[in-house]
A = this chain, B = another copy of it.
Amino acid sequence: MRIAQIAPLSEAVPPKFYGGTERVVSWITEELVRQGHDVTLFASGDSETSAKLAACTPEGLRLLGYRDHTASHLAMLHAVHKRAHEFDVLHFHIDLLQYPMFEDLYHKCVTTMHGRLDVPDFMPVYRTFTGMPLVSISDNQREPMPSNSNWQATIHHGLPSENCPYYPEAKGGYLAFLGRISPEKRPDRAIQMAIQSGVKLKIAAKVDKADQDYWDEVIEPMIHHPLVEFIGEINEEQKKDFLGNALALAFPIDWPEPFGLVMIEAMSAGTPVIAFRNGSVPEVIADGVSGVLCDTMDDAIAAVHKVKTMSRAGVRRHFETQFTAECMVKKYVAVYEQLIENEKTIIKMPRAGAFTPHYGDLNGSARPSLSAAAMPA
């Protein structure tokens, strides 16, 4: 299959710094290539990939110091549109800008929704361009969306199985908190879980500028307890030990997390997840198998003792059957095949009187397109 992956240009693929979306795009791209597909990655020029790289900007826009990213994405989309006939499928990982430009090509498009969808600012596009084929990263993520959205599938994120290797023993015996220090991630709950259960907590997290007040006023005063250790930011390599040696990952979130990569990173290491039931959590955690679902702090404190008896091999097995990059890409390929299949069905239907010089033209003109919509009736 000839597949275009269209990535955000803010960071390289994979990202040199932060960028959950760019990491997932990289995993999808590399796995598609491994499975023998002909993949072109539209991304920043400092991306590293075994696919063909279509460099749309010399470096990630954040490195270039660009504050407004719209123009670069519009120029990338123009390049994608010009080359669209080279591909069977165009897979978008950018937020919004592709909706109007590709209205004439929705039959070969799919957009993965990487963020939360309950932001009213974005609704005008979701309500206006309902034809775009969409993939959600959890069922829960779809809830705020218009009922006539063109959902193709929910595809949970997957992780290359070697990224966070399996640790058969929780040598550290601590609770791990990994992510940003922000109110909706509830590091305060993680600290309470440690103190009230008497189990050590290690916090590996960065403090964004936007969250400085929350850190100063709420979290910093809490981290001086002898059971709490704040170790700051860690890199991908340090993450392996940090997660692998933990008794459990504390994931006491207080917001509708669309997916939550860190949960499957922990599960990949064999580390169970103690998570509050919110957003994607009940879809990702098999309660009692790969972690414990909690509704209250009492649940969470009880869970700290419960996970001690949980099989780390069982956690890893749950990861392997559902959350590897291979699992994820199989589902994406099924979506791509379905798009192509739908297309063939339409082709087979005769269109009386239409001059159909070639496949692409038929597809183009058989659908409502931007230009057709603008013609006088």
Contacts and interface: CB of A to CB of B under 8 A. Distances in A.
B97 A70 contact: yes
Interface in A319-377: 358-361, 364, 369-371, 373-377
B68 A375 contact: no
B128 A75 contact: yes
A100 interface: yes
A156 B369 CA distance: 37
A75 B371 contact: no
B68 A104 contact: no
Contacts of A57: 124
A225 interface: no
Given A370-B371, A375-B360, A122 B82 contact: no
A121 to B, nearest CB: 4
A67 interface: yes
Interface residues of A, number: 49
A327 to B, nearest CB: 32
Contacts of A127: 75
Nearest to A128: B75
A373 B82 contact: yes
Contacts of A100: 74, 77-78, 81, 100-101
A28 interface: no
A125 interface: yes
A85 B374 contact: yes
Contact of A68 (B84, B85, B121, B126): B121
Contact of A125 (B75, B85, B96, B377): B75
Interface string A75-104: 101100110110000000000110111001
A101 B101 contact: yes
A176 interface: no
Chain A contact residues: helix, strand, loop or mixed:
helix
Contacts of A101: 100-101, 370
A71 B373 contact: no
A122 B69 CA distance: 8
A129 interface: yes
A374 B358 CA distance: 13
B70 A370 contact: no
Contact of A360 (B360, B369, B376): B376
Contacts of A119: 68
A369 B69 CA distance: 24
Nearest to A355: B355
A120 interface: yes
Nearest to A101: B100
B376 A125 contact: no
A104 B66 contact: no
By CB atoms of chain B within 10 A, which of A64, A96, A371, A375 has the most? Answer: A371
Given A67-B121, A85-B376, 9 more contacts: A57-B124, A71-B124, A75-B127, A77-B100, A78-B128, A78-B129, A85-B375, A101-B370, A105-B371
Top 3 A-B pairs, shortest CB-CB distance:
A75-B124, A85-B376, A71-B125
Interface of A: 57, 61, 64, 66-72, 74-75, 77-78, 81-82, 84-85, 96-97, 99-101, 104-105, 119-129, 358-361, 364, 369-371, 373-377
